[in-house]
Every structure is written in C-alpha cells, then in structure tokens.
Structure 1
C-alpha cells in the first residue's frame, strides 16, 4: 500500500495534528481554506490525494476544520488536480452563500474537531 512516513497530513485541527505529528509528516494550517490551498500546492507538486478534501457529510461552510492526507507520486495525478480545484470552488461557493460561523460554542467546536479526527482515524489503518 503506502509508506506512512512518506504521507503528509495537512490539517487545521489541533487534535489531529497532536495525535499524528509523531507518526508522519504533518503541516498545521490556520483555517479550512488554508488547508485546501496547501493541499492544492502539494497536488500540483506531484502528490496524490489519499483522502477526499471534502470528506464527511458536512458542508464546507458548516465546519471550520479539515484534514487531508497526500502522498508523493510519479503517476499522472490530473484527477486529483481537478478534484482539489473543484473542492476549492465548492468551498468558495458555500462561503459566498453563508460564511462559516466564527462564534460556535466550545462544545460545538470540539464536536467538529472530533468528526474531522474520526475521518482521519478511520482511514489510517487502510493506507499502511
């Protein structure tokens, strides 16, 4: 499958970062949008998406957290380029409709972090 040490986890979720920073390369970003931008940079630099940039059933303007795994590749990753570009387009469209609230209560913030963490936890065993 994949070598975990070569994978890169891009996240703006401190719980995801803290859990995985010792197991693989992790990049901490400031926001959901920054995560997408950093992932796009990796994809354009010949990395493939190991997780979907819009995983879970939450709309991009509902959750403030996103974590994405990428992996270096020498294969054609045109599909991943198109996917990340589409995800960024969808994110921006949703932000234009209604921006992600910045005043969630702490328990709601923790719930969103937990959802994002569970998505990454569920994929980790499958990639190695």
Structure 2
C-alpha cells in the first residue's frame, strides 16, 4: 500500500506506509495515480475525488493505492481515475484554482492529512487489506 500525495504534511507525518510525493499540483497527483494504475497495475483504495471540496478549490490531494496480484489493469480504478481527470479538467475550465494564502493552504493540507489518517485507521482494521 502506498499514498500518492502532493501534501507536505502527509509526506512528513504519515509513517504507516510509503508516500510517493508529487512536487506538483492536484492534477499531477491524478496523473501519477493514472500512471501507477496503467503501468504497474495498482488499484485505488480511496476515491480520487473524495471529500466535498471541488478539485478546482483545493491544492492538495492524497490517494491510497495498493499492488495487486493481477497482471492486468484494474478497470474500475482506471475508470475512476479517468473520470477524475475529466472532472478536474472541466472544473478548471470553468474556474481555475485560486491563489490561496499560506494560511488557507495550511488549512487544506490539514484537511487532507486528517482524511488520510482516518482512512488509514479504517484500513488497518479491514481484514481483506494487507497493511504494511
């Protein structure tokens, strides 16, 4: 299990599993996730558009993925990430992500970190998911 994230707080504070840090935008996190699904046959454990924050309203995103024993693409994960990329593009076309203040960015980073910590806590107690 791994986390793909552009959130420095997730990179610094999550130690339960490896964090693939994307030094870039929300969209670049989605693209990195897409690449992992297509090239390495990973499966998403969290939805790429989770939370009620629209993709053009926040800067930070973290997605949990895991490896699979299958030697083929997980088409459910592929469809979800393709739809997330299309949704991100649509929202950004309508209204670009604002230039948030440092305090607001800090708040978004904290929200994303909290989502990851609570999700990892639930995954830890899920018998069908192997937690490293």
Both proteins in one fold, TM over 0.5: yes
Q: Distance in 1 between matches of 2:90 and 2:3?
A: 25
Deviations 1:66-86 (A, max 9, x none): 000100013461111000000
Deviations 1:86-107 (A, max 9, x none): 00000011110111012x1121
Q: Which runs of 5+ in 1 are unaligned?
A: 1-6
Paired position in structure 1 for 2:25: 31
Q: Distance in 2 between matches of 1:80 and 1:58?
A: 21
Q: Distance in 2 between matches of 1:125 and 1:88?
A: 27
Query: How many equivalent residue pairs?
Result: 120
Q: Which runs of 5+ in 2 are unaligned?
A: 125-132
Q: Which TM-score applies when normalising by structure 1?
A: 0.88
1:98 to 88, 91, 95: 95
Consecutive aligned runs of 4 or more in structure 1 exceeding 3 Å deviation? none
Q: Which TM-score applies when normalising by structure 2?
A: 0.86
How far is 1:23 from its partner?
A: 3.0
Matched, 1:110 2:106: yes
Paired position in structure 2 for 1:59: 54
Q: Distance in 2 between matches of 1:110 and 1:36?
A: 21
